[in-house]
């Protein structure tokens, strides 16, 4: 009787432990493919950090500051318009145009952060998380989600230096002219009374 009781006691311990082991095995193994799926499905993130002046503007893609940017054009509205075009000089020196959220930005150059933490505190940070579809887009400023957006327009164009072949070239000199850059960023909201108001982002 004593031996039977001991065996029974051992089984009462082993069986729950086996169930716990089975549960732990499932708990550890099952989430892995789900976690990988979530990583692979992460949406691209484009961020613009600026004080409203083009010389104090930095662009980030998936958390890394990008270099060689020539022009950025964002035009998003609630009717379904979604344009997000980035023109940049890639690592091979070619100028390319890419749809930011739906195309692979091959050869995109990165650089260390241009602003110190103190400088960054004086900036606004606009972030756009998107799959390239208007109904799968999240916009925030300084990590605060924006609601009631009717449309958003951003156009940033770096100044371009061109060599002129005008009269000065006749004297053995090429004049260098600079095409002015452009910086425009605004968002239109729908108010509670159904009216609309447009505000500068930076």
Residue 185 shares a structural domain with residue 157: yes
Residue partners of 72: CB distance under 8 A and separation at least 6: 48, 59, 85, 86, 87, 154, 155, 156, 157
User: 32 and 49: one domain?
Assistant: no
Which tens digits make up the pLDDT trace of 179-197?
788 999 999 999 999 999 9
State the burial class of residue 66 (Cβ atoms within 10 Å of its Cβ: 0-12, 13-18, 19+): buried
Residues 63 and 150 in one domain: yes
Q: What is the pLDDT of residue 193?
A: 94
160 compared with 73, residue with greater pLDDT: 73
Range of the domain at 29: 2-38
Asked if residue 51 and residue 34 are part of one domain, the reply reads no
Question: Do 47 and 144 have their domain in common?
Answer: yes
At 4, list the tokens: 């039977």
For the record, the structure tokens of 171 come out as 């004297």
- pLDDT tens column, 69-118: 999 999 999 999 999 999 999 999 999 999 999 999 999 999 999 999 99
- Cβ atoms within 10 A of the Cβ of 77, count? 15
Give how many domains the chain has, as a whole number. Answer: 2
Which residues lie below 8 Å from residue 89, measured CB to CB, with a gap of 6+? 68, 70, 95, 96, 109
pTM: 0.72
- Do 87 and 155 reside in the same domain of the chain? yes
Band of pLDDT at residue 132, cut at 50, 70 and 90: very high
- Of the candidates 144, 147, 126, 39, the one whose C-alpha atom is nearest the C-alpha of residue 84 is 126
DSSP 174-202: --EEEE--EEEEEEEEE-TTS-EEEEE--
Same domain, 81 and 115: yes
Cα 147 to Cα 202: distance, rounded to the nearest angstrom: 17
Helix (H, G, I), strand (E, B) or coil at 106: coil
User: What gap in Å lies between CA 18 and CA 157, rounded to an integer?
Assistant: 65
Same domain membership, residue 87 and residue 13: no
Same domain, 50 and 34: no
Q: Are residues 103 and 164 in the same domain?
A: yes
Q: Is residue 104 domain-shared with residue 27, that is, in the same domain?
A: no
How many of the other CB atoms lie within 10 Å of CB of 109? 15
Verify that 12 and 88 share a domain, yes or no. no
């Amino acid at each position: 009787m004593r031996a039977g009781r001991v065996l029974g006691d051992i089984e009462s311990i082993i069986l729950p432990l086996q169930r716990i082991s089975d549960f732990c095995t499932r708990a550890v193994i099952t989430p892995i493919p789900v976690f990988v799926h979530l990583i692979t499905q992460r949406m691209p993130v484009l961020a613009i950090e600026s004080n409203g002046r083009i010389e104090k503007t930095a662009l980030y893609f998936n958390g890394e500051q990008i270099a060689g940017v020539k022009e950025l054009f964002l035009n998003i509205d609630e009717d379904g318009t979604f344009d997000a075009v980035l023109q940049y000089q890639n690592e091979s020196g070619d100028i390319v145009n890419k749809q930011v959220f739906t195309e692979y930005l091959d050869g995109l150059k990165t650089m260390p952060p241009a602003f110190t933490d103190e400088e960054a505190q004086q900036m606004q940070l606009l972030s756009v998380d998107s799959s390239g579809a208007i109904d799968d887009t999240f916009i925030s400023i300084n990590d605060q989600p924006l609601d009631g957006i009717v449309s958003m327009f951003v156009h940033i164009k770096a100044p371009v230096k061109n060599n002129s072949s005008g009269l000065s070239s006749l004297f053995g000199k090429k004049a260098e002219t600079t095409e002015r850059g452009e910086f425009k960023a605004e968002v239109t909201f729908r108010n509670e009374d159904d009216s609309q108001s447009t505000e500068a982002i930076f």
